[in-house]
Structures are given as C-alpha cells and as structure tokens.
Structure 1
Amino acid sequence: MKARIYGGVIDELTPEDAGSVLIPDAPFPEQERIGRLIVRVYELRDEVNAVEDQAIAQLEAIISS
C-alpha cells in the first residue's frame, strides 16, 4: 500500500490494500478499560458543556441588564 501513497489522499483502497493494514487487537480487559475511559470522557464533556451554558447565560444576563 505504501507504494500507492503520493500524499494525504488515497483515491482507491482495494481489498488487497486493506488486507495489508495491521489492526491492533488489545486484550479484552484493556478494551474494557479503554471503553470505560471513553464513557467517562463523554460524561465530563457533558458536565463542561452544562457549565459553559450556565456561564454564557449569566454573561448574557449581565450584558442585557
């Protein structure tokens, strides 16, 4: 596949090309750990978005008064 790459774009990916790509297969406990971390990141992102919304609302209230 490297021989066909001439930049950041691959116009065509053939089954043979895809077959040459190595995909890591982490042990299941590691996959679970990564999954829990991702869920936690989404929870924290939701919390941050809520705090940001509150801050924006407070700032808009101050500006409009």
Structure 2
Amino acid sequence: MIFDSIKVFIIFLACTIVFYFGLRAMHSEYEQFHRYDHPDGPAVKVFNSEEDFLNRFQLFFRFEE
C-alpha cells in the first residue's frame, strides 16, 4: 500500500516537473515574438476612426451586436 502511494507520488512529481519545464520553454519561445509589429502583405484596416460615436452606437443597437 505504501509502495503504491510512493509510485503514484513519484509519477505525479515527474509529470509536474515535465509540465513546468514545458511551460518555461514555451514562455521563452514566445517572449521573443513581437505581437504589435506591422503586418506583412496586403493588410486591411478594420477600424475606421473617422466614424463618430453616436453613429457607431446606433449601429450597435440596430444590428444587436
């Protein structure tokens, strides 16, 4: 009974360590990734800042977004 508990604890500990170092590796990989760079290729601007707030608010209720 105690031997089985020790085996389960060791397996749990090994899985936890593998998971922890896997997360650290992913973090170090994506830490160098620049999310806010300008896109490459034929990008299209989605947000139109010239549209006034009242018009956008009316569209919000009209189309039930």
Provide TM-score, normalisation by structure 1: 0.49
Kindly indicate whether structure 1 or structure 2 has the higher relative contact order, using CA contacts under 8 Å at least 6 residues apart: 1
Structure showing greater Rg: 2
TM-score w.r.t. the length of structure 2 is 0.49
